Amino acid sequence: MLDWKRIKYVISIPNLDFRPKDKKNEVVFLGRSNVGKSTLINTLTGQKIAFSSKKAGKTKYLNYFLLDETYYLVDAPGYGYTAYGSKEDKNFAEMMENYFQNDFLKCAVMLLDTRRTPNQDDNLMISFLKEENIPFIIVFTKADQANQSEKYKAKTLGATLGAEEVFFSSPKERPDEIRKAIAAYLESKKDGR
């Protein structure tokens, strides 16, 4: 069984060419800026290892964390933080396009805010994952701040988006089920690629 508490920050990279050279499977965390990617990594590992912030755009590069000496968790920068069509926006798109040319990537964790309707960027990201045959799970974040009707709406929507599984998360809840789902891909028991 994976020891999720055994986690080490390794490197922050601007594109895939700088990926650690060892052959380890990885999972990437994707979603709009401020949706809670870094926070989810901290919840999964039970440690304050990924920097989270109230200010959008905190994570600027691809941050690699070594999980239990065996796999990589990759904290990606959020999209939708810079203006569409801006230079930063273009850089981000290039960085991510390059990143996905990645044989070690076994699955993606797509984060959506439970209280918000997915926007065009979210939908583009999801379409891209499907086109590229990258298996993904959806995690609806900030479930602790959502009411029952928002949760119901999210769950109903989640079922239509083509994800392998759908979860809710908040830092107050045990992330066992999400851990299990990610581990299954990393260990390649399920390998959609």
Ligand X SMILES: Nc1nc2c(ncn2[C@@H]2O[C@H](COP(=O)(O)OP(=O)(O)OP(=O)(O)O)[C@@H](O)[C@H]2O)c(=O)[nH]1
The Cβ of residue 83 has, within 10 Å, a number of other Cβ atoms equal to 9
Number of other residues whose CB lies within 10 A of the CB of residue 46: 12
Taking CB under 5 A as the criterion, the residue among 25, 34, 38, 169 binding Mg ion is 38
Environment class of 159 (CB within 10 Å of its CB; exposed 0-12, middle 13-18, buried 19+): exposed
The residues, any chain, with a CB within 8 Å of residue 84's CB and separated by 6 or more, are none
Say if residues 76 and 59 touch (Cβ distance below 8 Å). Answer: yes
**Which of 25, 26, 33, 104 touches ligand X by CB under 6 A?**
33
Nearer to Mg ion, 178 or 184 (CB): 178
Span interacting with Mg ion, options 50-58, 130-138, 139-147, 156-164, rule CB under 5 A: 50-58
User: What x/- string results for residues 48 through 87 when contact with ligand X is judged by CB under 6 A?
Assistant: ----xxx-xxxx-----------------xx---------
Q: Element (H or E) spanning 72, and its range?
A: strand 71-75
Alpha-carbon gap, residue 161 to 158, rounded angstroms: 5
Chain residue at closest Cβ approach to ligand X: 78
Give the x/- contact pattern for ligand X in 124-153, rule: CB under 6 A. Answer: -----------------xx-xx--------
- Which residue, 20 or 171, is less far from ligand X as judged by CB? 171
- Please tell me whether residue 33 binds Mg ion under the rule CB under 5 A: no
- 133 CB-contact burial (10 Å; exposed 0-12 / middle 13-18 / buried 19+): exposed
Interacting residue ranges for Mg ion, rule: CB under 5 A: 37-38, 58-59
Name the site residues for ligand X (rule: CB under 6 A).
Answer: 31, 33-39, 52-54, 56-59, 77-78, 141-142, 144-145, 169-171
